[in-house]
Structures are given as C-alpha cells and as structure tokens.
Homo-oligomer: A and B are copies of this chain.
C-alpha cells in the first residue's frame, strides 16, 4: 500500500507558516492584500472564490472580492484589473476562470501586472519559469503546491523520469517546467500521445491532470512510482474522484495523492503563500 501524500495536513501546516508571515508584514504596516475577480454566477466558481476570500481573511490578509455580472464587457473587466494594478494595498490579483465566452481570458490575464499575477499565468512569469531565470516571480499555484507536497515527503526530482499527462497552462506546462528546472527528465503527454498507458508506466513520478475520471489505474503505474492526481471530477453519485483509480493505483504506487485531500488543498494554501511572497517581493523591489 502506497504512502498517502496528505495534502490536507501539509496545506494546514503551510497555512500556519503563511499566517505568521502575514502577521509579521501587517505588524510592519504592510498587510498583504489579495483581490479576486469573479464574473457571472457559476455556482462552482462562486464557491471557489468565496473559499479563497474567506481563507485570506482567516490568515490575516486584506481580501477583496469583486463580483461582476455575466454581462460585463471585457474592457470593464480589464478596467477593474487596471485599478487593482494601481492599488498599493493589493499585492495579488486573480481572475476566476472560466470567463464568459465574450471575454478573452488571455487578454484579461495578460493585463494583470506581472508582479501581482498570483496565478502565474502572465506570459512574462511563465517565460521566466520556462527559461529558468533567477530571481523571484509567481508560479501557477497548483504546480507550485505539488512541488511543496513532494518536498514535504522528501521526494526528489533530479534524474527521475517524470511523465505529465495534460498540457494545460494552469497545470501541465508549469509543473513540467518546475520539474525540468529540478533536473528531472520530463515527458509532456496529452490526448495526441500514442500508447499513453505504456508511457505512464515508465514514470518514476506520474502527474495526471486531464479531467478524465480513472484514466490511469494500477496496471498503468510502475511499481513504487509517485502518483500525483490533479483531477477533480464529480461522479453521478456526487462523490469527488480523481483522474487516477485510487483503489488499484494505491496498491502499486510507492506514494500517491488522494482525491479529495491531495493536490486540492495545496492549491489554495499555495495561493495564500504566494500572496504573502508577492507582498515581500514588492518590498524588496522598493515599491
């Protein structure tokens, strides 16, 4: 039976550390501030954004939740972003996805100041990551949270064979970049990949981020491998499951993240951590 990579406990411990840092900054007169923009009334998005909003408040940060109607124009959203770019009390800005069809997510993302881009989606930040540039810059929260979780369990990357299934800008691409930068040999696979399951079985570390329930099961996993399941799928019974069949996979893997309680809690804890880091970095830049 695999070691369970406990995201819930690791996230709680990260949140404790984040609160200490946030309080320290507040005592210095610089309370970390995060702003979340939500467009429309998608129920899942409402839950996510309100969770982020409440968590930030709980950790002692300034938290602003801006809810815009479904009918808002792209220019109006960008106008809100611009105001937050200028606002000295806000260090982190995120726009909850998905956005309505009449709004181009890339244009909105690109309008966030790179130094406040807490999701790490701005091309300047993604390019610094992929180009392995030195210095401080935000990185997408789910991938960064995965790295924290691996570190917590002393799972190293150098020389390991990593297979990442799913090539999204939110998860697959940045997690591949982070692992390349830690000297892993990384294969980025997707729906066009031939013999996907045979490829998965070559991985020392397998990251699955596709949104396809139970895409990977025990027989597709190298014995002893580390399995990171980024999927969050809600079954007909209302239960959450990942992209990996936990029951069979946990018999073969050496370590595995559960769903829920694995990567999920790390994402929001990393969002909080990175809000504090952006605040610290803004001070170092003399802003």
Contact = CB atoms under 8 A, between A and B. Distances in A.
A20 interface: no
Interface of A: 106, 121-134, 158-159, 161, 167, 169, 173, 176-177, 180, 183-190, 192-194, 199
Contacts of A180: 167, 173, 188
Contacts of A130: 126-127, 130, 173, 177
A185 B177 contact: no
Given A133-B106, A177-B130, A199-B185, A193 B159 contact: yes
B169 A131 contact: yes
Contact of A188 (B159, B167, B185, B190): B185
**How many protomers of this protein does the assembly include?**
2
A127 B131 CA distance: 8
B194 A190 contact: no
The 9 closest A-B pairs by CB, nearest first: A127-B127, A123-B127, A126-B127, A183-B192, A187-B187, A185-B193, A130-B130, A123-B128, A124-B124
11 contacts: A106-B133, A123-B123, A123-B126, A126-B131, A127-B127, A130-B130, A131-B169, A158-B192, A167-B180, A183-B192, A187-B187
Given A187-B185, A187-B186, A199-B185, A131 B193 contact: no
A130 B123 CA distance: 8
Given A127-B128, A167-B180, A169-B132, A194 B187 contact: no
Contacts of A122: 127
Which interface residue of A134, A184, A186 has the most chain B CB atoms within 10 A? A186
Nearest to A135: B106
Nearest to A180: B188
A128 B185 CA distance: 23
Contacts of A128: 123, 127
Contacts of A193: 159, 185
A186 B189 CA distance: 7
A193 B185 CA distance: 6
